[in-house]
């Protein structure tokens, strides 16, 4: 699956107010073939303090930075399925993926926001419910996967084998094993449903590798394409001391297309 990098583009102060825009001019030149091939660097480039630049204008310390930089990316599109329809609306379940490359340090906090694009002449697209949610019992989250059903209000209902026969009759059971990613000891807060701008907040020591979120969405039936702007902000702690609060650029991803 293709992905889009969420580049850190601005910095927060301690009150989470925007205080600086990051200037990327000249910082991300491509690394030359001579360096990316399986070769040792010449002796004269092995010391970080050496002043001469490489052929592509990257110094050795810049190469190390590129290798060790944190990278957060999202899938270019969501995995989506229509679960029900009526004469006016389609109801969709959608799963969005987010991958994190973290060679060193840790991400202490992460905010992930989805904003459905307005479509001229159509009613708003609404996220009725989202997962993971702070309302879910922790025991459904620690394994990294959760079996869910969707009730007639498009709310997520956690399902386990020993209670599946005891669910109310208005629960529409569908086999859907949702992968939450490799999260351990993570506090999760969800903004709640009935909004066109759902958001999640993650905090803890287990934010790494991948994070998955899911939505139940209600869209106008005659709308054939749904896209959303995705944005993130995170607190990155590279070592024992000091943290950096950064926010990302905005990426538009495909949620559903007929």
* CATH number of the domain enclosing 77: 2.60.40
Beta bridge partners of 107: 236
- Look up tokens 């999640």; give the residue: 200
Q: Answer for the pair 197, 114: CB distance below 8 angstroms, yes or no.
A: yes
Q: What is the pLDDT of residue 63?
A: 64
| Alpha carbon distance 28, 31 (integer Å) | 9
Domain that holds residue 99: 71-257
Q: Answer for the pair 218, 88: CB distance below 8 angstroms, yes or no.
A: no
Q: What is the pLDDT of residue 59?
A: 67
Per the structure, the count of domains in the chain is: 1
Looking at the domain assignment, is residue 31 inside a domain?
A: no
Residue 24 reports pLDDT greater than 70: no
Instruction: pLDDT band for 258, please (50, 70, 90 cuts).
Output: confident
Looking at the domain assignment, is residue 47 inside a domain?
A: no
Looking at the domain assignment, is residue 208 inside a domain?
A: yes
Tokens of 51: 């002043």
Q: What is the pLDDT of residue 201?
A: 93
Q: Answer for the pair 228, 114: CB distance below 8 angstroms, yes or no.
A: yes
The H or E element spanning position 65 is helix 60-68
Has this prediction a pTM greater than 0.85?
no
Residue 91 reports pLDDT greater than 50: yes
DSSP structural state of residue 36: H
Q: Torsions phi, psi of 139, nearest 5? A: -65, -20
When mean pLDDT is compared across 52-66, 68-82, 90-104, the lowest value belongs to 52-66
Looking at the domain assignment, is residue 43 inside a domain?
A: no
50 vs 235: which has the higher pLDDT? 235
Looking at the domain assignment, is residue 65 inside a domain?
A: no
pLDDT digits (tens, 9 = 90+) for 176-232: 888 877 777 788 899 999 999 999 999 988 788 788 899 999 999 989 999 999 999
Residue 18 reports pLDDT greater than 50: yes
Looking at the domain assignment, is residue 122 inside a domain?
A: yes
């Amino acid at each position: 699956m293709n992905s889009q990098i969420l580049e850190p583009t601005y910095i927060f102060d301690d009150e989470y107010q925007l205080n600086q825009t990051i200037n990327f001019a000249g910082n991300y030149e491509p690394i030359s073939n001579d360096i990316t091939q399986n070769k040792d660097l010449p002796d004269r480039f092995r010391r970080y303090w050496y002043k001469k630049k490489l052929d592509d204008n990257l110094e050795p310390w810049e190469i190390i930075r590129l290798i060790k930089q944190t990278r957060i990316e999202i899938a270019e599109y969501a995995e989506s399925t229509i679960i029900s329809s009526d004469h006016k609306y389609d109801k969709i379940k959608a799963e969005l993926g987010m991958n994190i490359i973290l060679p060193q340090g840790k991400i202490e906090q992460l905010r992930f926001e989805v904003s459905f694009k307005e479509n001229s002449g159509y009613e708003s697209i609404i996220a009725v419910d989202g997962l993971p949610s702070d309302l879910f019992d922790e025991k459904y989250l620690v394994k990294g996967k959760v079996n869910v059903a969707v009730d007639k209000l498009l709310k997520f209902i956690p399902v386990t084998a020993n209670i599946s026969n005891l669910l109310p009759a208005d629960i529409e059971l569908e086999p859907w094993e949702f992968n939450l990613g490799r999260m351990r000891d993570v506090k999760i807060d969800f903004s709640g449903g009935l909004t066109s701008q759902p958001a999640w907040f993650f905090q803890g020591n287990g934010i790494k590798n991948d994070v998955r979120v899911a939505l139940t969405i209600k869209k106008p039936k005659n709308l054939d394409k749904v896209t959303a702007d995705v944005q993130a902000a995170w607190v990155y702690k590279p070592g024992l001391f000091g943290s950096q609060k950064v926010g990302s650029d905005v990426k538009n991803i495909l949620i559903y297309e007929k």
